[in-house]
Amino acid sequence: MGGAAMRTKLERNLNRAFSAAQIKKSANQVAKLGARADFLDISDALGCIAHIPFDNLKRYRRVLTIPHFIQRALTAAYRDALFREPKPIPLRIKIVNGRTHLLEVKTTDRQISVRLTRPDPKTEARTRK
């Protein structure tokens, strides 16, 4: 499965797990992880990254090219959606290709919208040379 196909499947899996119909069940699953769980732990617990070929989550975390600040912002968005009081709020994510890493988060009382822009892995490797 190529990079674009994996991103499409990841986006679909996340949107399903964070949908209005599923968010409460997802929140109950993730609550067991504890306060230190980040967006990767949450994605893994919800089965959203099962299709991505990595040996283990610890290694995947080390090789992931998303900047640390954006990782922390994603974690905050996931956690806000799952644990918003008085009830969880759906989150919708869109992952797109771009020249640089960028995260845009919009929130209303009814939904959190996340647009994650990531360079194509091939492009990113070329720019590092």
User: Which H or E element spans position 114?
Assistant: strand 112-118
Asked if pLDDT for residue 128 goes beyond 80, the answer is no
Give me the domain span that covers residue 44. 3-128
pLDDT digits (tens, 9 = 90+) for 34-93: 888 999 999 999 999 888 877 788 888 888 889 999 999 999 999 999 999 999 999 999
Helix intervals (H) in 32-120: 39-45, 57-63, 68-83
* Domains: count for the chain: 1
pLDDT digits (tens, 9 = 90+) for 24-41: 999 999 999 988 899 999
